[in-house]
Amino acid sequence: MKKLYYSIGEVNKITGIEPHVIRYWETIFPQLKPSKNRSGKRVFTQNDIKTILEIKDLVKNKGYSTSGAKKMLDEKNSTVNSEPINAELERDLKEVKLFLERMLEQL
C-alpha cells in the first residue's frame, strides 16, 4: 500500500537524490513545494516524488541545467493547464460566432 506522505530520507531512497539536492531543488522549482508536518519536517506526496523524478531525468539523464529543466517543467505545466482553458475558449467563440451569424441574418 502506498503512503500518503514520505520523509526526505524515504524520498532519497526512492529517487536516489540526496536530501541536500532535494532541498536545493525546492528553491529552484516552484512545482516542488513539499508540506511540513507539525515538527517542521518536510513531508512529500507521490506527486512531489513524481516531480523529483522528472527533474532527475531532465538534469541527470538528459543533461539539462537546472534552469533548462525549470523552463521545460514550466512549459509542460503551462501546456497542461491551458488545454481546458483552450477548449472552453473554443466553445465560447463558437457560441459568439453562431450568435453573430444569427444577428447578421436578421439584418
Q: Tens digit of pLDDT for each residue in 66-107?
A: 999 999 988 887 655 555 656 777 777 888 888 888 888 888
Helix, coil or strand: residue 93:
helix
Q: Is the dihedral of CA 65, 70, 52, 21 positive or negative?
A: positive
pLDDT in tens, 20-49: 999 999 999 999 999 999 999 999 999 999
> What domains does the chain contain, in order, with CATH numbers?
8-81 (1.10.1660.10)
pTM (2 d.p.): 0.69
Q: What are residue 35's DSSP bridge partners?
A: 43
